[in-house]
Amino acid sequence: MKELHARVAGEVRKVVVGQAEALEDMFAALALGGHVLLEGVPGTAKTLLASATARALGIEFRRLQFTPDMLPSDVTGTMALRAGELVFRPGPVFAGVVLADEINRTPPKTQAALLEAMQEGQVTVDGISHPLPDPFLVLATQNPVEYEGTYPLPEAQRDRFLVHVAIGYPSAEEERAMLRLRRRGLAPSALDDVRPVASAEDLQAARAEVDATEISDEVVGYVVALVRRTRELPSVQLGASPRAAVHLLGAAKAAARLAGRAYVTPDDVARMAAPVLRHRLVLTPEAELERATPAGAIRTALEDVPVPR
């Protein structure tokens, strides 16, 4: 898995400068068969990072550009008349990797169509179920909710994403390197430099490797204590769910494999706590008025829970 990540990251770096931790978080989720939510202000390469990663994975890839007038059938597909009979015409969701670009620019009903597919692994149209490919991975991007024209994802839908990847501004050095990249930025042809270096079989092998990673009872207890602590913090109105605990355990296993180990340490859990938990926590109105953040609540939980030795 470590070698596979190195191959994919090497291709992505041809068009994206920096964002090494973001790419690692994404890869950990994808190796688990999980979905990824990327958030950042416009112009920080969210779409380019997701597109380059999907291309490097070598899996069938489709992009969905969400807009305010998009309908659920634009996502899932519809029945069409062909040769005098109704047949199902699959939507863009029928791909191994789906890039859901600006998912919070479309109304809740259309968001729900994609998120139902993520949950069920199938699409139902006119009472007939159509299974989605395996693997089926969603890379969704969104702008911060304070931006005009956004429809925030409900808590239950955010919980479906294994990790939340925060895309920040590059450093000054990274920004200079970005400007030096050949065919960088506005030219769509920049993605032509990215070669497929993996396959669906490689991802399945990585998933099996993650599943085989050893984890002690003490580290499992650490995961449980962290998740439960988020529910007890006075600044948190809605803490991490039991699904979050399952996702954190899996992400810690993936982090261990990316570090070249076959066993999980408490550091792996702490490393993945923020990307796995921050999009699931809902703060109290009082905490939000004081400009508290989910990331700050997670740091507090990490400080409060004793680390097993």
Q: Report the first-to-last Cα separation within the chain, whole angstroms.
A: 27
Q: What is the mean pLDDT of residues 26-36?
A: 93
Contact indicator for 35, 118 with CB cutoff of 8 Å: yes
Identify the residue with better confidence: 255 or 170.
255
> What does pLDDT average to over the chain?
90
Is residue 183 predicted with pLDDT exceeding 60? no
Q: How many CB atoms lie within 10 A of CB 91?
A: 23
Q: Which of 33-37, 78-82, 158-162 has the weakest average pLDDT?
A: 78-82
Among 126-130, 133-137, 214-218, the range of highest mean pLDDT: 214-218
List strand residue ranges (DSSP E) for 244-303, in order: 282-283
Band of the pLDDT at 208, cuts 50, 70, 90?
A: very high
Local confidence band at 189 (pLDDT 50, 70, 90 cut-offs) = low
Angle between helices 242-258 and 200-211 (to 10 degrees): 100
CA–CA distance, 184 with 13 (Å, rounded to integer): 12
Tokens of 33: 């068969």
Comparing 124-138, 149-163, 169-183, 247-261, which segment has the lowest mean pLDDT?
169-183
**2-203 sits in which CATH class?**
alpha beta
Which stretches does DSSP call E strand in the chain?
36-39, 61-65, 77-82, 85-90, 97-101, 122-125, 128-131, 137-142, 163-166, 236-238, 282-283
pLDDT band at 284 (very low <50, low <70, confident <90, very high): very high
pLDDT of residue 76: 92
Which CATH class, in words, describes the domain spanning 213-304? Answer: mainly alpha
Nearest-10 crossing angle of helices 294-304, 266-277 = 160
Question: Rounded CA gap, 10 and 266, in Å?
Answer: 28
- 180 pLDDT above the threshold of 90: no
Rounded CA-CA distance 272/251 in Å is 6
Q: State yes or no: pLDDT of 211 exceeds 70.
A: yes
- The residue type found at 298 is I
pLDDT at residue 162, as a whole number: 96
Q: What is the pLDDT of residue 80?
A: 86
Q: Are 278 and 303 in contact (CB under 8 A)?
A: no
Of residues 108 and 186, more confidently modeled: 108
* Mean pLDDT of the region 92-117: 90
Say if residues 303 and 289 touch (Cβ distance below 8 Å). no
* pLDDT value of residue 184: 52
150 Cβ contact list (under 8 Å, min separation 6): 104, 105, 142, 143, 144
Q: What is the rounded distance in angstroms from the CA atom of residue 149 to the CA atom of residue 260?
A: 43
The domains of the chain are located at 2-203, 213-304
pLDDT band at 126 (very low <50, low <70, confident <90, very high): confident
> What is the arithmetic mean of pLDDT over 222-251?
97
CB atoms within 10 A of CB 180: 8
**What angle (nearest 5°) sits at the alpha carbon of residue 202, between those of residues 99 and 1?**
100
Our CA dihedral for 10, 14, 17, 21, rounded to 10 degrees, sits at -20
